[in-house]
Chain A
């Protein structure tokens, strides 16, 4: 409820306007030689970090774009992109 999110197009907005799209796990793997195990992990396993994680959001009640932010999952606040990620 208290979360605010910075949309790359619309700027900082109320968190109500967005929908969560999960942790960032990179593009879907190639299908050749993909094991069921590996696929299942890609789709269903999450890191569930207690701290800062990179994750996807969609501005559903706004411009409709998908983008990533970094969020502190303990305090539930958006944080600046970590140095390592820049």
Chain B
């Protein structure tokens, strides 16, 4: 265990609060505020994992999770970015992608086999001969990939989603972002600021003096300036702060998405945040551009910010003897500060020949730190961790060895402009800063801070103020929301601030240096995918000249780090290599999510919202076995015998009751109501008679059946109709869509939830009904297909229909939902003497199947038209003026011999029923089984199938193929439909 520097004012950990966690089965102790990565480092862990391809040892590098080096399995979740995850009491942490341990990985030998795996290895090697692929695939799958997830893994934690809105969203909580947020908020706008680290402060948070200023000692230290800004932001009534929140996407219309990691007391582990704003400020700053040299990812090679933050934020000195190889002033500043904190610094090499700030060089000299201008690290020495470094001049002619345990390496900066490009900003290469900068900004979007190339602290803050004011102006110019107030004053304030900023230092010159003068066989441009500089060269020599394609071919930048490591170096290197072409560097495309995001976070909380019928409680109390069917929970069975023998026999021989409340129920009325029905129903709806029930169907423009149900005429241009359960939600939309050009006058009301339905079926149904009403319900007064309205007990208005879906004497009662339980109980009481029973959806399914009544979605799929189902008799061809939806297509399909036909079949030799969905085959697939069941009523297995028309003739033998039948076929024979009571005497009696 290392010693922590406990007294720094910049610390973000509390060393007095111990956090005990488990790493590979042993207890480790970190401090409150540590990330898993810093806690492990504090406990002397140096090798965090092994790389994807070559199983090279990997360790801390950036401390912001830009590569998969430090991904580990935490509490069973693989690929957790330990640099971004706070350590918690009792956490279980494991290394991944190792055979043995990260320290001694048995796959480590692969690193020596790199010559066998050139760029595009998979594309070039794995396709011939084809027979090798299955073998190779198994081995590669075993060796490749990061992390292991068991198929029965259940994600622990609580996930949530929020959709806040704001006037201005500021992405990035550093000095520029905070200044922008304050500037907007002071103008009265509602601001949201998002920061990926757990605190506001950005790159001021761990810095002390800006030594570039001669009078630095008189200035406020940067961390303290950051905290001053942060407390202003946090206490501002107009600003909502989301820390530990990464932005994952930005979209047109100023929509910003991200996710937040919960703090100790938060009710969520992670939550998805989607913000709709009127203006956006992007102040995401920079990450460091990696310096490339031999073994540049050896544990012990770290970026400047990583080493500096380990010391200042976490109190950990990353090494005892350090060599710096950098290309920017922040590197020099870090060397000075770390020296003052007690680190031995052997030398500071700077790839820049000029342009360094002179005050920084004076400070280095004051501390006797050797400064090598025009030098660079060429090779890290040491097998599993850094033991030394070879330094060289830029042309590679002179070199010097150093014994050290830490190489602090950084070539330059990379602006984090992902949020801008995702929102469709166009990038342009700027040769002064060496950055890709946004050329054409998205509407109402402003950039600020370091990503513009600014390094001077005052200038960075000023740029934030300007962006914040401009965002405020964007909002105020939206008259409808803000009334156009103070616009002129705001404009002049912006002009004044811009003028003032011009007096401050502008964008700094950026280094173009990418790689040391080495062959590059072990010089890694992408850590996640183990892509070397040599691989990139191979790809270019094969003819690839666009970074986007080289990225695909070499897979550089396609790993979990989302291009954070190679994203900037790749285009720079390619442009330099192809310098003769004179083309400027071209960036690769950035896509959301900008940082790896858990699918669980996107999924949010598990809110299952199922609809329940008015009979729900009672059906459950009666022993109903419920299933999710569409948007509803319905009682599918009433015993644990899922063949429903008793329920079926009771309906056939006695009387049963079914809760049919899920049926779609509508009323349409108004002067043009009939016209609407004529448009959407295939039948001639003008023939619907008062007191009668009309069964019909709706088709889509292809003639395919989308719905069926009954229509009842209540009065002239006033109809009540039902739809199938599944279609209820889309029916009104459908009616309005197909009449959208006509300007017809009609009203349609969805009564699905306000009306319930009871189906009373069986030979004794009339006897039960007669006991609760004085209405004449005899067969002559209330015949099959009849409709009646009557009151029960002078209170309950009942719409009663005589239908025959299950093939028996049957009544359907439609009543207001609030009366459902009362009416149900009356019928139940009345039926007691007959031993009336519940029946569920599955019993109904078998009963109607025996009668060959179809259910859409079971006896049909998307391509099944009205004629295929044998329902052509519903279609009225004479109403052409109605422009009935589907009629044109039906006319065209009428004589088409290639269409399927719905047939009934029974199984051969008393065989069991084929499974629903089984295929009808010969040497080809010829159709499929829609529904088939062992029928207790008929004492044989029967079903319906959709088959090619040549198989539709009665007597045809059907060969049936079931999943996993192992070549064993079963057989059926086409028989006439319906199977049960073909004359319909039972349902009409």
Seen from chain A, the residues whose Cβ lies within 8 Å of a Cβ on chain B are 1-4, 14, 19, 21, 26-28, 30-32, 34, 36, 39, 43, 56, 58, 60, 64-66, 75-77
CB distance from A1 to the nearest CB of B (A): 6
The interface bits of chain B over 160-178 (1 if a CB of A lies within 8 angstroms of the residue's CB, else 0) are 0000000000000000000
A28 touches B883 (CB 8 A): yes
Question: A28-B883, A58-B737 are contacts. A2–B888 as well, Cβ < 8 Å?
Answer: no
CB distance from B876 to the nearest CB of A (A): 13
Q: Which residue of the partner chain B has the closest CB to A12?
A: B480
Question: A3-B253, A64-B736, A75-B424 are contacts. A43–B883 as well, Cβ < 8 Å?
Answer: no
Q: How far is the CA of A77 from the CA of B255 in the complex (A)?
A: 12
CB distance from A69 to the nearest CB of B (A): 14
B252 touches A76 (CB 8 A): yes
A2 touches B741 (CB 8 A): no
B883 touches A64 (CB 8 A): no
Q: Which of B587-619 contact A (CB under 8 A)?
A: none
By Cβ-Cβ distance, the 3 closest A-B pairs, closest first, are A2-B251, A2-B255, A27-B741
CB distance from B989 to the nearest CB of A (A): 42
CB distance from A27 to the nearest CB of B (A): 4
B253 touches A43 (CB 8 A): no
CB distance from A74 to the nearest CB of B (A): 9
B880 touches A31 (CB 8 A): yes
Check B732 for interface membership: any CB of A closer than 8 A: yes
**B-side contacts of A32, CB under 8 Å:** 880
Question: A3-B253, A26-B741, A43-B701 are contacts. A65–B888 as well, Cβ < 8 Å?
Answer: no
B736 touches A31 (CB 8 A): no
Check B124 for interface membership: any CB of A closer than 8 A: no
The interface bits of chain B over 247-287 (1 if a CB of A lies within 8 angstroms of the residue's CB, else 0) are 00001110101000000000000000010100000000000
B253 touches A77 (CB 8 A): yes
Q: How far is the CA of A34 from the CA of B889 in the complex (A)?
A: 11
Q: Which residue of the partner chain B has the closest CB to A34?
A: B888
Instruction: Summarize A's interface: helix, strand, loop or mixed.
Output: loop
**A-side contacts of B939, CB under 8 Å:** none
B740 touches A1 (CB 8 A): no
Q: How far is the CA of A65 from the CA of B748 in the complex (A)?
A: 12
A2 touches B733 (CB 8 A): no
Q: Which residue of the partner chain B has the closest CB to A42?
A: B701
**A-side contacts of B736, CB under 8 Å:** 58, 64-66
The interface bits of chain B over 876-903 (1 if a CB of A lies within 8 angstroms of the residue's CB, else 0) are 0000100100011100100000000000
Q: List 12 A-B contacts (CB under 8 A).
A: A1-B255, A2-B253, A2-B255, A19-B733, A21-B737, A28-B883, A39-B888, A43-B701, A43-B889, A64-B736, A66-B733, A76-B252
**A-side contacts of B888, CB under 8 Å:** 31, 34, 39
Q: Which residue of the partner chain A has the closest CB to B893?
A: A36
**A27-B741, A32-B880 known; 5 other A-B pairs, CB under 8 Å?**
A1-B274, A2-B253, A3-B253, A39-B889, A58-B736
Seen from chain B, the residues whose Cβ lies within 8 Å of a Cβ on chain A are 251-253, 255, 257, 274, 276, 424, 701-702, 732-733, 736-737, 740-742, 880, 883, 887-889, 892
Question: A2-B253, A14-B276 are contacts. A66–B880 as well, Cβ < 8 Å?
Answer: no
A31 touches B887 (CB 8 A): yes
Cβ 8 A contact of A39, one of B252, B276, B732, B892: B892
CB distance from B516 to the nearest CB of A (A): 43
Q: Which residue of the partner chain A has the closest CB to B888?
A: A39
B892 touches A1 (CB 8 A): no
Q: Which residue of the partner chain B has the closest CB to A27?
A: B741
A64 touches B732 (CB 8 A): yes
A66 touches B892 (CB 8 A): no
**A-side contacts of B255, CB under 8 Å:** 1-2
CB distance from B475 to the nearest CB of A (A): 15
CB distance from A78 to the nearest CB of B (A): 9
Q: How far is the CA of A2 from the CA of B444 in the complex (A)?
A: 15
CB distance from A19 to the nearest CB of B (A): 7
**B-side contacts of A3, CB under 8 Å:** 252-253
A36 touches B892 (CB 8 A): yes
Q: How far is the CA of A43 from the CA of B741 in the complex (A)?
A: 15
Cβ 8 A contact of B740, one of A31, A39, A66: A66
Q: How far is the CA of A36 from the CA of B741 in the complex (A)?
A: 22
CB distance from A4 to the nearest CB of B (A): 6
CB distance from A73 to the nearest CB of B (A): 12
Q: Which residue of the partner chain B has the closest CB to A77?
A: B252
**A-side contacts of B737, CB under 8 Å:** 21, 56, 58, 66
A1 touches B741 (CB 8 A): no
**B-side contacts of A64, CB under 8 Å:** 732-733, 736
A31 touches B733 (CB 8 A): no
Q: How far is the CA of A32 from the CA of B883 in the complex (A)?
A: 10
Q: How far is the CA of A43 from the CA of B699 in the complex (A)?
A: 14
**B-side contacts of A34, CB under 8 Å:** 888
**B-side contacts of A43, CB under 8 Å:** 701-702, 889
Q: How far is the CA of A75 from the CA of B424 in the complex (A)?
A: 8
CB distance from B894 to the nearest CB of A (A): 12
CB distance from B428 to the nearest CB of A (A): 20
**B-side contacts of A56, CB under 8 Å:** 737, 740
Q: How far is the CA of A65 from the CA of B742 in the complex (A)?
A: 14
Q: Which residue of the partner chain B has the closest CB to A11?
A: B480
Q: Which residue of the partner chain A has the closest CB to B891?
A: A31
**A-side contacts of B887, CB under 8 Å:** 31
Most chain B CB inside 10 Å of its own CB: which residue of A26, A32, A66: A66
**B-side contacts of A66, CB under 8 Å:** 733, 736-737, 740
Q: How far is the CA of A66 from the CA of B732 in the complex (A)?
A: 11
Cβ 8 A contact of A4, one of B253, B257, B741: B253
**A-side contacts of B253, CB under 8 Å:** 2-4, 77
A1 touches B251 (CB 8 A): yes
